[in-house]
Amino acid sequence: MLERLSNKRIVLGVTGSIAAYKAGEVIRRLRDHGAEVRVVMTRAATEFVTPLTFQALSGHPVHEHLLDTRAEAGMGHIQLARWADAILIAPASADFLARLRIGRADDLLMAVCLASNVPLAVAPAMNHQMWSDPATEDNIRVLRSRGVLIFGPDSGEQACGETGAGRMQEPTQLVGQLAEVFETGALAGLHVLVTAGPTQEAIDPVRYLSNHSSGKMGYAVAAAAFEAGARVTLVSGPVCLPVPDGVQHIPVLSAQDMYDAVMPRMEDVDIYIGAAAVADYRPELVASSKIKKDEETLSLTLVRNPDILASVKRRYPASFCVGFAAETDNLEHHARSKLHDKGVDMIAANWVGVNAGDGGFGSDENAIRLVWREGELELAMAPKTKLARELIGHIAQRYQVRHKSALTGDNVLRFTKQPDN
Ligand code: C5P
């Protein structure tokens, strides 16, 4: 379970409470389990512990100020919000909870919380009278109803000498609960096949045609599907990325190899996600020895490769198929055409080339326009790992909707295997 924290990006907010000293232990436990931690301290928190302590423990400078031009140029509140996979506020003071409830954005931590859409957990720490005050109780009720996770507090002896509820939960408990946030189970019991990376189309024994796909998005999608409880097969062209934990990896080179690897495995696949940048054409003839530069010009005749995504959907119409569309122009139009032409269930479209902004091939970030028959959705620019989790959440949702309508007899034909053509 704690391995779910591996490679997760956690913003740890520390507010003004004597329990701030325990935040150091939270950082260490998070890092022990492979998480990357960025600490944001409120001004009051720095009265209890120095930022230097948390800088040493997290391995990164601590973020303190909202209106600091140097900090904003490095990683400002929007970047921090975009960077995070989850936010944990430990300790969360009574004052912080009150301000979170009303949505203030007058310090860095509040602004990060407001600018983020990732899971937000708070670990209250305060005197027991403050915790049981109706104002605090009301704040907690409202925050909980908005989806804020409330970790603790524990009961026991308090720093003020009194006894009661209001002690911050122990760091190991907090870290355990945070790991559960990443255990969605949305794809539990399903088999997901993901294709990723480029393909290589041989010209001769030393040369090939290929493209700039890094495989990062497909690998992140495979990892996110595993995290959501699926059995995952990753059929990948040549990339320089580590295989995500728990994922079955099938390396291939050409589009034909990819087709041959995918088709027989589709028998028991529930969800197919085609994130590979498959070459549309390959040289008609592959020279058996290295082509010499004897001529001024050289012509290659290219022939069409099979469209793996379209073939999968044709042959296995019961599978939920998601395609990617990397476009340099007219994103929306091309995405809708692909949805229709390939007969798939969903298209994740993104910009490449000059229109890509911070995203596209090779980048660690991306933004996606998600299109399906009845709707569409914009997934904002974010690290690919985070975007992949969002994408998997939406795929799981649409899969459940389609599955339910199929089970109620909506479209029985779609569940009959069709011959390949
Ligand atoms: O038609 P286009 O290449 O833009 O479509 C992209 C989508 O189709 C991606 O999901 C890609 O993996 C898939 N594709 C495929 N086989 C091809 C070409 C594209 O599976 N030969």
Q: Give the C-alpha separation, 45 to 50, whole Å.
A: 8
Reported confidence tier of residue 273, pLDDT bands at 50, 70, 90: very high
Q: Confirm or reject: Cβ of 309 under 6 Å from ligand 1.
A: yes
* Residue ranges of domains in the chain, CATH in brackets: 2-180 (3.40.50.1950), 191-286+296-408 (3.40.50.10300)
CA of 11 to the centre of ligand 1 (A): 37
Q: What is the pLDDT of residue 143?
A: 97
Q: Which range (201-210, 327-336, 368-377) has the least confidence? A: 327-336
**Ligand 1, closest atom to CA 304?**
21
The catalytic position among 113, 160, 240, 321 is 160
Please give the average per-residue pLDDT across 272-279, as a whole number: 98
Q: Confirm or reject: Cβ of 197 under 6 Å from ligand 1.
A: no
DSSP symbols for 29-77: HHHHTT-EEEEEE-TTHHHHS-HHHHHHHHTSPPB--SS-HHHHHHH-H
Q: Which residues pair with 38 in a beta bridge?
A: 11
DSSP symbols for 302-339: EEEPP-HHHHHHHH-TTSEEEEEEEESS-HHHHHHHHH
Minimal CA–CA distance to 119: which of 165, 93, 151?
A: 151
Computed over every residue of the chain, the mean pLDDT equals: 91
φ/ψ (deg, to 5) at 266 = -70, -15
**Ligand 1, closest atom to CA 311?**
20
Over 90: is that where the pLDDT of 309 sits? yes
Model pLDDT for residues 149-180, shown as the tens digit of each residue: 999 999 988 887 888 899 999 999 999 999 99
Q: Is 160 a catalytic residue?
A: yes
Over 70: is that where the pLDDT of 121 sits? yes
Over 90: is that where the pLDDT of 412 sits? no
Inter-residue contact 331 to 378 (CB < 8 Å): no
Model pLDDT for residues 235-249, shown as the tens digit of each residue: 999 999 999 989 999
Reported confidence tier of residue 355, pLDDT bands at 50, 70, 90: low
